[in-house]
Amino acid sequence: MATILETYWNIKVNIDSEMKNTKLDPIQIRQYQELLYRIEVLQVCQMFQRSAPESTDAKALVTHYQMLDAFIEALTLERLRHDNSNEDAQTKCDTAHGSFRRVIEDYRRRFGSFTPGNDAGRYSKEVSSVLQSVLPAWIQYRQTCIELSKEAS
């Protein structure tokens, strides 16, 4: 079964191929931009997961955590508002954003008392756990606000 990143990448390849022969309409352009954005975010999250220190050194862990947390915080602000004239759609988007924020608050509470103890791999496992909870909430938020069509999702 393909990962979300692989699925998005395959869609991108197909659209790139189609763009050689046709021009995208404004809705397709917006969806393509969203697709590229999601691919980039997923790739950066992969990088954070792969680069998580296998260490008990608090300084190394704090530096990595601060970068990861800042990146995730930026996801709550980036492209937050769109010219959405449909009030119901905007309400759904706001609700999805609130759910996403609650997931972030939850992992921050868990990390508030994090200590690696003698387990050098614990931090890396926790980062994986954070990303496994944050990314589905982020994708749901994005899909609620900017739905990718069946051809682009």
Looking at the structure of the chain, the number of domains it has is 1
- Separation of alpha carbons 48 and 126, rounded Å: 12
**pTM recorded for the entire structure:** 0.89
The answer to whether 84 touches 93, Cβ cutoff 8 Å, is yes
Residue 153 is predicted with a pLDDT of 39
Q: What is the mean pLDDT of each run of 10 residues along the chain (153 residues)?
A: 88 93 90 95 97 93 96 87 70 92 96 90 95 96 83 46
Could you list the residue range(s) of the whole structural domain that residue 121 is in?
A: 4-77+85-152
Residue found under tokens 């791999």: 121
Residue 85 is predicted with a pLDDT of 66
Closest C-alpha among 151, 150, 146 to residue 34 = 146
Closest C-alpha among 51, 74, 73, 75 to residue 61 = 51
Residue 63 is predicted with a pLDDT of 95
Residue 149 is predicted with a pLDDT of 66
